Amino acid sequence: MKRFLGFVKKEFRHIFRDYRTLFILFGIPIAEILIFGYAISMDIKNAGVAILDLSHDEVTEKLSGKILSSGFFKKSADLLSYEEIDQVLKKGKTKAVIVFEEGFGKRLIREGKASLSIIADGSEPNTATLVTNYTTAIVNDFNIEMAGSALNNALKIVPEVRMFYNPELKSYSMFVPGVITLILILVSALMTSVTITREKEFGTMEVLLVSPLKPVQIILGKVTPYFILSFINVLVILAMSWLVFGLPVKGSIILLLVESMLYILMSLSLGILISTVSSTMQQAIFISLVGLMLPTILLSGFIFPIENMPEVYDYLSLIMPPRYFITIIKSIMIKGTGLLYIWKETLVLILMTTVFIGISVRKFKVRLE
């Protein structure tokens, strides 16, 4: 045990000497949180809209003014003809063109009907949908306004909304859990797999293996410092989300920390598993970064909800550990629910950890023989 502790200390010293790496280790989650908090959002703001007004009358000017002053849009160009639409959309700054047909105002008054077209750039479907939706909503409002006198305002269903769990509709309740989930698995798996593969590649593993330390102790010794660092990382992210965004942990913080430990453990054992199949650091890095990064971002439901994916992915994501943790962390942090609601996910994580360790031990033994 004493020998083991000595070994752990040595590993720790090794990590702390490289302060640059340490700096980045904590820099990654902090930068990510800040990016999600302040730089990017799924919503649109100031999207470029061009106007092709073939009528230029009071109504079109009023309506286009209404559309442009909504905050969602910014006028990118005034067009004179249909031919210009393609040109302006191809430049990329303009996301949609709003076309008022000739004699728009006159028709509206005389025939009671005028048509407006929204031509959106479908190469960015998300933006296109949002632009169309918001414009439609604004025009609908305008319709109702115009009809104002005609409609005796009596007949109305007024829908009211209560936003659950996140009444202020802040995006952080989505990305804070996401960032924790993503960072923990990548960093833990990456660090463990690389540090163990490094010993293999440089031949120092043999030196360790002939030492009085047992193989299990060697692996544990290598992994323990990263376990602690990852745990500190969780605390840093939670503290940040509380201090910067005012997002508290609604449920039991102890439960959250225990679950985080479990998830870190799972990630570390995944890292160990990767190291048993890699012979060079390049390979370990390739698997843990190129292999894990995109699937974790995309299939864990962190940015893109799994519910919206084709059904196959619902099953495919069952083998993605982040999926379970993200459910756990959202339940505890945002919904404030207890173990009763997440015991299944917890069990799956325990099972995954066991399987990863089991395979690693097997592979390790085979190699020693």
Partner 1 sequence: MRTILFLIRKEFLQIFRNKFISKAIFAVPIVQMLILVPAITFELKKVDVLVIDKDMSPESRGLISKLEGSTFFRIMGMTYNEKEANSLMHRNKCNIVLHIPENFGKDIVTGRQAKIVAAIDAINASSAQLAWAYLNGIVRDYNSILTIKNINNSAPAAIPIIDIRNRYWYNEELNYKYYMLPGILVILVTAIGFLLAGLNMVREKEIGTIEQINVTPVRKSQFIVAKMVPFLIIGLVDLALGLAIGKITFNIPFNGSILLLFLGSTIFLIAVLGLAVFISTFSGSQQQFMFVAFFCMIIFILMSGIFTPYESMPQWAQDFNLINPVAYLMRVNRMVMLKGSSFTDISRELISLSVLAVLFTTFAVRRYRKTA
Contact 301, 326 (CB under 8 A): yes
Total interface residues for partner 1 by CB under 8 A: 125
In which residue are the tokens 């990118």 written? Answer: 76
Q: From the list 13, 69, 106, 140, which residue makes contact with partner 1 (rule: CB under 8 A)?
A: 140
Q: What are phi and psi of 47, to 5 degrees?
A: -70, 135
How far apart, in whole angstroms, are the C-alpha atoms of residue 193 and residue 61?
A: 63
Q: Please count the other Cβ atoms lying within 10 Å of the Cβ belonging to residue 283.
A: 16
The stretch near partner 1 (CB under 8 A) out of 4-12, 50-58, 131-139, 226-234 is 131-139
Strand order in the sheet with 73-79: 73-79, 47-53, 94-100
The stretch near partner 1 (CB under 8 A) out of 14-22, 232-240, 246-254, 348-356 is 14-22
Q: From the list 1, 2, 81, 167, which residue makes contact with partner 1 (rule: CB under 8 A)?
A: 167
β-bridge pairing 47-53 and 94-100? parallel
Residue 126 CB-half CA count within 13 A: 6
Least distance to partner 1 from the beta carbon of 72, Å?
9
Within residues 344-363, the interface with partner 1 by CB under 8 A covers none
Q: From the list 109, 254, 319, 350, which residue makes contact with partner 1 (rule: CB under 8 A)?
A: 109
The stretch near partner 1 (CB under 8 A) out of 3-11, 141-149, 223-231, 360-368 is 141-149
Least distance to partner 1 from the beta carbon of 270, Å?
16
- DSSP state for residue 18 in the 8-state scheme: -
Query: Which x/- pattern over 171-190 shows residues binding partner 1 (rule: CB under 8 A)?
Result: x-xx-----------x---x
Asked if 70 interacts with partner 1 (CB under 8 A), we say no
**Cα angle: 276, vertex 279, 282; to 5 degrees:** 110
330-359 burial, b at 16+ Cβ within 10 Å, e below that, comes to: bbbbbbebeeeebeebbebbeebbeebbee
- H or E stretch at 95: strand 94-100
**Cα angle: 285, vertex 287, 293; to 5 degrees:** 90
Asked if 158 interacts with partner 1 (CB under 8 A), we say yes
Q: From the list 2, 81, 83, 163, which residue makes contact with partner 1 (rule: CB under 8 A)?
A: 163
How far apart, in whole angstroms, are the C-alpha atoms of residue 74 and residue 282?
A: 47
Asked if 224 interacts with partner 1 (CB under 8 A), we say no
Within residues 272-331, the interface with partner 1 by CB under 8 A covers 278-283, 285-287, 289-291, 293-295, 298-299, 303-305, 307-310, 313, 316, 327, 330-331
Q: Please count the other Cβ atoms lying within 10 Å of the Cβ belonging to residue 235.
A: 11
How far apart, in whole angstroms, are the C-alpha atoms of residue 85 and residue 76?
A: 12
Collapsing DSSP to helix, strand or coil, 42 comes out as coil
Kindly tell me which of 231 and 313 has the beta carbon lying closer to partner 1.
313
Q: From the list 65, 125, 248, 358, which residue makes contact with partner 1 (rule: CB under 8 A)?
A: 125
Q: From the list 8, 33, 51, 116, which residue makes contact with partner 1 (rule: CB under 8 A)?
A: 116
Within residues 71-90, the interface with partner 1 by CB under 8 A covers 74, 85-86, 89-90
Q: From the list 12, 44, 77, 261, which residue makes contact with partner 1 (rule: CB under 8 A)?
A: 44
